[in-house]
Structure 1
Amino acid sequence: MLVSDIQLGEIMTICIMAVALGLDAFSLGIGIGMKGIRLLDILKISVIIGVFHILMPLMGIFMGQYVSLLLGNVATAAGGCLLIILGAHMVYSSVRGEEAVSFDHRTIVGLTVFALSVSIDSFSVGVSLGMFSTDIALTVLVFGFFGGLLSILGLLLGRHVSGWIGEYGEAFGGLILLAFGIKFLL
């Protein structure tokens, strides 16, 4: 047998955690995709999210050796607040119509804020993983793969669904962001 039972269990655990972390990117991708998004932007956003899903847990793993469990809760709360702000802004922009400037995923700042908001929980998990011995390269690469893949799927699904919802897509997407932000804070 090439892989021992312990190694197989570790790989399965990492994959399950990666999917769970990637589901945020999937769900939030639906919200952004509902605003209407080009295929090139979907690819760009997904690559950036994948990179953030590598960097954030990597930083967390290295910091996990030095920090307490409290930091994980602070990072999750910060991510929740960020999602609430983004969601509220999207709902506000939708209600105001053309007058309000909407969250723009095509700008560097907008893309960075979005990627950071969906990957901040990966930092928290990285802090926890840093307290245990884990294969760092395997962990962060799997996290990045699933973060990018699930964001592609969410953005494509949101893009497809946006035709059904029409002009209310941005408000609905903002409500999704608000719900996840509140979930992180509770």
Structure 2
Amino acid sequence: MIAIIVQTLLISVSVAMDAFAVSIGKGLTVSRVRPGDAVRSALWFGGSQALFLILGHYAASAFSAYVTAFDHWIIFGLLAFIGGNMVHEAYEEDAENAKETAQFDWKHMLPLAVACSIDAFAVGVSLAFMATSVPFAILCISVVTGLFSAAGLYIGRAFGAHWQKPAQIAGGVVLILIGVKVLLEHLGVIAF
């Protein structure tokens, strides 16, 4: 049980890294972070993560009976792909992040929230095959993403872009490692 909670928390932090990195970028563009901006950012990113997790979970649940024999490969593949993509994007986003605006209206936040939640759809697919409480995972990932995005605004404002790339790389590496762990568990190499 503890291992599942720790795994869920690690996934939560990892999936939140895209929103965290984008929020740091937004924090760079504001003269000061107002509490309302932090709340809006948290709701946009956390809510979008929840929606995409649910959509991914339900999409996969429809097919789970057909793929249980190789579900560990699906989990590994998705998490390794998402993690690798996060690491790759960390090195390509400097120009993109320079275009961030200080606006927090729906026209600016919706595309950012959706872009940061595409990975959550794939994680939602993975949740359908993992031994975890899906409602707990969705709640945990959404809340952690919201908190990280709000914190990212303040960190971006205070410290600049120094933490943006390392956060995204760390999130990607953790997802890859969780995928490897799931694969090795299902293959009987390790047991937790």
TM range (shorter): 0.5 to 0.7
Contact 1:105/1:114, CA 8 A, preserved across alignment: no
Which deviations, in whole Å up to 9, do the C-alpha atoms of 1:67-113 show, x marking residues without a partner?
8859959x95xx98x9999864554x5xxxxxxxx646422121111
Report the CA distance between 1:41 and its aligned residue: 1.4
Q: What is the RMSD of the two structures over their aligned residues, measured on CA atoms?
A: 3.6
Residue 64 of structure 1 is aligned with which of 55, 60, 65? 60
For 1:7-26, list aligned pairs within 5 A. Answer: 7-26=1-20
Contact 2:54/2:121, CA 8 A, preserved across alignment: yes
Runs of 4+ in 1 over 4 A off after TM superposition: 67-73, 82-90
Report the CA distance shift for 1:90/1:17 in structure 2 as closer, same or farther (over 3 A).
Answer: closer
Structure 1: 5+ residue stretches without partners = 1-6, 94-101, 163-171
Partner SS for 2:159: helix
For 1:41-80, list aligned pairs within 5 A. Answer: 41-65=37-61, 66=63, 69=74, 72=78
Report the CA distance shift for 1:105/1:117 in structure 2 as closer, same or farther (over 3 A).
Answer: farther
Partner SS for 2:104: coil
2:9 is aligned with 1:38: no
TM (norm. structure 2) is: 0.63
Letter aligned with residue 46 of structure 1: A
Partner SS for 1:111: helix
Letter aligned with residue 58 of structure 2: F
Aligned to 1:147: 145
Report the CA distance between 1:134 and its aligned residue: 2.6
For 1:1-186, list aligned pairs within 5 A. Answer: 7-36=1-30, 38-39=33-34, 40-65=36-61, 66=63, 69=74, 72=78, 88=95, 91=98, 103=101, 105-161=103-159
Contact 1:50/1:145, CA 8 A, preserved across alignment: yes
Identity, in percent, stands at: 21
Number of residue pairs aligned between Structure 1 and Structure 2: 154
Report the CA distance shift for 1:118/1:83 in structure 2 as closer, same or farther (over 3 A).
Answer: farther
